Amino acid sequence: MIWNHMQPESRVGRDFMKTKLLAGAMALALVGCSEKPAEAVREAPAYDMAPVDASEAVSTQAIPAPSAMRSPNVSVTAAPGVAFNYAYAFRLDDNRIAKVQEEHAAACEALGTTRCRITGMTYRLVRENEVEAQLLFKLDPAIARKFGRDALGSVEKAEGVLAEARISGEDVGTQISDSQRRSADIDAEIARLEARLKQGGLGDRERTELQQQISAMRRQLDGERDNRRAGEAMLATTPMQFDYVGTGGLPGIGYGNPFSDALNMLIRSGSVMLSFLLVVGAAILPWAALFLLLLTGWRTAPALAIRKWLNGASKTSAAPTPPAD
């Protein structure tokens, strides 16, 4: 009986042990599953990226230094309908400005008048060894950027630098489109008013008013047409301005020559002194001449005789008269 009583307990114990073993096995399985992804992450191979072309890679070495930077290259195709205006200022030695200016003018002439025209030229000697010059062009927009870049290259060959670059643009294309829309609206309004005139049954006053409105709108159409032509002309040619400035002469002195300045100062001082002496002499000389003339006349023989006669007369008048007897 005791055996029968213990037998169920042992069966329950065995079931309990099986349950514990099963739970432990499941726990180990879960731990193993959780560790495998971690190991997979730790052991994941480093995938090679697609090779990048060195020319396409962005490198700090490819960025030019500030001193080597050029003017921004804005292409006409990058901004269609925009009328650009280029202005460059070149700094180089004064004695090389004329040669570089001639090279730029010759480069424009070589392109032909249909692609490049010189509209203005200035060369001025401000003072000794100080030169200022300017060139004005009208260029084909397609070659304007290249022309400016080539001009800078010739300046650099002459040991000059780009001192300033200004590129301004005006959205002429949008203005032309807006003008075309306004013209279309005006045409539609003119057609409506003309149709009203053709209907008949209008009084003289109303007919006159409609005709005046149509005339005003036609003048407005002419103005819009002129504006579009001006915009098209701006798009057809690109103005370009070259200013040439000197390097500033000698360091610490500039354009001036100290020896020449000293000589000029000496000459100016001598001129001032000579002018002063002449003015003083002109003021004193007449009185001095009059004094010398009087002194000379005082010493002549007639003057001496007159003085003696005057002295004798004065003595006679001064002598006492004798008393009468």
Mean pLDDT of 195-206: 85
Tens-digit pLDDT profile for residues 14-31 = 554 555 444 555 544 444
Q: Given this model, what pLDDT does residue 75 score?
A: 52
pTM of the full structure: 0.51
Q: Are 83 and 176 spatial neighbours (Cβ–Cβ below 8 Å)?
A: no
pLDDT tens, residue by residue, 5-15 = 444 444 444 55
Which among 148, 137, 157 has a CA at the least distance from the CA of 74? 148
Cα gap 172→228, rounded to integer Å: 9
Higher pLDDT, 43 or 317: 317
- CA 38, 40, 42: angle at the middle one, nearest 5? 70
Instruction: Note the pLDDT of residue 77.
Output: 53
- Asked if the model's pLDDT at residue 60 lies above 50, the reply is no
Q: Where are the domains of the chain?
A: 174-234
The residue length of the chain stands at: 325
> Would you say residue 58 has pLDDT above 60?
no
**% residues pLDDT > 90 (the chain):** 37
pLDDT at site 78: 56
**Calpha distance 204→180 (Å, rounded):** 33
Instruction: Answer left, alpha or beta for residue 187, where phi above 0 means left and psi between -120 and 50 means alpha.
Output: alpha
Lowest mean per-residue pLDDT among 139-148, 225-234, 239-248, 254-263: 254-263
pLDDT at 152 over 90: yes
Yes or no: say if 167 and 84 are a contact pair by the CB < 8 Å rule: yes
Q: What is the pLDDT of residues 295-323, one digit of tens each?
A: 888 778 787 787 777 777 666 665 555 55
pLDDT of residue 9: 43
67-122 confidence digits (pLDDT tens): 444 555 555 555 678 889 999 999 999 999 999 999 999 999 999 999 999 999 99
Residue type, 318: A
Question: Where does residue 320 fall: left (phi above 0), alpha (psi -120 to 50 degrees), or beta otherwise?
Answer: beta
